[in-house]
Amino acid sequence: MNIAVFASGRGTNFAAVVRAVKRGKLSANISLLVCDNPKARVIGKAKRAGVEVFLIKRQDFASKRDFEERIIQRLEEAKIDLIVLAGFMRILSPEFVQRFKFKILNIHPALLPSFKGTEGIKAAFDYGVKVTGVTVHFVDEEMDHGPIVLQEPVRIKEDDTLESLEARIHKIEHKIYPQAIRLFIENRLKFEGRKVKIL
């Protein structure tokens, strides 16, 4: 099983997946890091882990379609079986998603369908909910919308700051993302309409 991780930032979820592979918890090969940000810290993490980095900048292409076609070409060259989004700060086009239907996983720092978007932790904290959490889902044509694989709640404590909540959310992310990937690798995810059943 060949995995490509897409990331644009610090790469903490990328590192969590790499650790799971190295510890034998995932029978997979992290074949490729796809990154659109030359300043991203994830690039250094990938190099230290021996993972090939495919750095591709949107501004180097005349259109989003050309940009994505080059990514697709590289994914096909690497024979990628699963795409893992780990803080990739670009919305993939419906055409890209269809090309890899049910082969793209994403992690979101809230209990979807609540608090979609890039500020999921802050939005939940500011709203004052008592429970938030983490969601791993398949990507479809809508943002933060596809079939849910795993969720884990995180209670917001009375003395939480945004920073302390973020730290606890990230800890859960690093735990359940490898779990969801393992379920995919082991072919234990069955689609029933919009729902995903774990076998």
Q: How many Å apart are CA 63 and CA 61, to the nearest integer?
A: 6
Calculate the dihedral angle through the C-alpha atoms of 87, 179, 115, 14, rounding to the nearest 10 degrees. Answer: -10
Candidate list 108, 137, 145, 174, residue with the active-site label: 108
Containing 20, the helix (H) or strand (E) segment is helix 12-22
Query: For residue 99, which of 43, 59, 139 has the smallest C-alpha distance?
Result: 139
What number of other Cβ atoms are within 10 A of residue 61's Cβ? 15
Asked if 174 is an active-site residue, the reply is no
Containing 179, the helix (H) or strand (E) segment is helix 162-185
Contact (Cβ atoms closer than 8 angstroms) between residue 82 and residue 60: no
What number of other Cβ atoms are within 10 A of residue 90's Cβ? 16
Containing 185, the helix (H) or strand (E) segment is helix 162-185
Q: Catalytic positions, please?
A: 108
